[in-house]
């Protein structure tokens, strides 16, 4: 018997298999909610403490360099420069400490809803599995100027930039029909460009910057290794340990960021495909090609 009814003090109460009344179950739920909130706060505090420890380390470095500059006059220029850098980075790290931390599973679930929508579009509109990232105006402040074009025809051509402003691309050329979306990587690219240092002078250097951003900047993966074929117009990035689950899903943030960044940097359409590199689906490969991207 899964559930029974009892009468106590004139009130009808539900008793579960575990022998708990409704009020007792509500109490258990409240305790679990409180514990969950405590653990979440504990995790956020731990992250904040790690940032503040790093800030304190830079402060100490700056102070020690300043003291050393006073003690060693012949090296004052270098030491005062080091002191300034240490104090500046310390202040920056302290004030940029995140006030709210979103766990990877939560982010993965949010992305999964978007991926399911994309998969539904491909199925219902009979689109191809190919994704082409095209430099085009998006008219949003939060995302870089790149669109994701998913063609309908197997032998397709990339639409004009003006045609990509609409969700449904239904121009005169049947080969240029499909859907145009703001990719997940466009928002990441906007953040990457804001914090980026000197521009890369070669495609190899830019690919290395993208791999570092995936690991260190956005913490989307545990490891990323880039291989470049500039003459063939291709970049391959091996991915290990994705924070957002399987990378071979629709417009996954990892592949989307790499393809969107390449499209914006090279100012040319980039075709992106992903695949699993092992049976455990813990490692993936992101292939990006530019030049002749159509079929």
* Type and span of the H or E element at 101: none
Residue with tokens 């466009």: 186
Where are the domains positioned within the chain? 23-95, 104-295
The whole-angstrom distance between residue 122's C-alpha and the CA centroid of its chain comes to: 22
pLDDT for position 3: 41
Q: What sign does the CA torsion over 86, 91, 96, 97 have?
A: positive
pLDDT for position 9: 43
In contact, 230 and 181? CB cutoff 8 Å = no
Residue with tokens 């393809």: 259
Length of the chain: 295
Calpha distance 221→241 (Å, rounded): 5
pLDDT digits (tens, 9 = 90+) for 144-172: 689 999 999 989 999 888 888 888 888 77
| pTM (predicted TM-score) | 0.64
pLDDT band at 132 (very low <50, low <70, confident <90, very high): very high
Which CATH number, 3.50.50, 3.10.450, 3.10.150, 3.30.1380, labels domain 104-295? 3.30.1380
Coil/strand/helix, residue 127:
coil
The end-to-end CA distance of the chain, in Å, is 62
Calpha distance 173→199 (Å, rounded): 37
Q: Is the pLDDT of residue 111 over 50?
A: yes
């Amino acid at each position: 018997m899964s559930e029974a009814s009892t009468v106590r003090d004139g009130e009808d109460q539900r008793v579960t298999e575990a022998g708990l009344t409704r009020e007792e179950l509500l109490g258990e739920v409240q305790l679990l909610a409180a514990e969950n909130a405590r653990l979440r706060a504990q995790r956020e505090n731990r992250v904040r403490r790690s940032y503040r420890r790093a800030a304190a380390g830079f402060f100490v470095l700056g102070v020690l360099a300043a003291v050393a500059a006073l003690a060693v006059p012949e090296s004052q220029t270098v030491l005062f420069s080091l002191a300034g850098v240490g104090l500046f980075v310390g202040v920056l790290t302290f004030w940029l400490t995140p006030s709210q931390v979103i766990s990877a599973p939560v982010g993965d679930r949010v992305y999964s809803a978007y991926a399911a929508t994309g998969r539904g579009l491909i199925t219902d509109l009979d689109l191809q599995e190919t994704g082409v990232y095209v430099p085009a105006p998006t008219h949003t402040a939060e995302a870089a100027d790149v669109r994701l074009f998913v063609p309908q025809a197997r032998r397709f051509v990339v639409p004009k930039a003006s045609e990509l402003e609409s969700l449904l691309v239904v121009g005169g050329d049947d080969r240029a029909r499909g859907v145009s979306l703001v990719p997940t990587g466009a928002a990441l690219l906007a953040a990457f460009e804001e914090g980026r240092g000197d521009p890369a002078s070669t495609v190899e250097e830019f690919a290395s910057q993208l791999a570092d951003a995936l690991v260190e900047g956005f913490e989307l993966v545990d490891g990323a290794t880039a291989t470049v074929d500039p003459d063939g117009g291709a970049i391959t990035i091996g991915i290990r340990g994705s924070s957002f689950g399987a990378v071979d899903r629709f417009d996954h943030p990892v592949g989307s960021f790499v393809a969107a960044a390449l499209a914006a940097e090279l100012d040319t359409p980039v075709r992106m495909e992903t695949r699993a590199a092992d049976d455990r689906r813990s490692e993936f490969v992101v292939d990006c090609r530019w030049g002749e991207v159509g079929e």
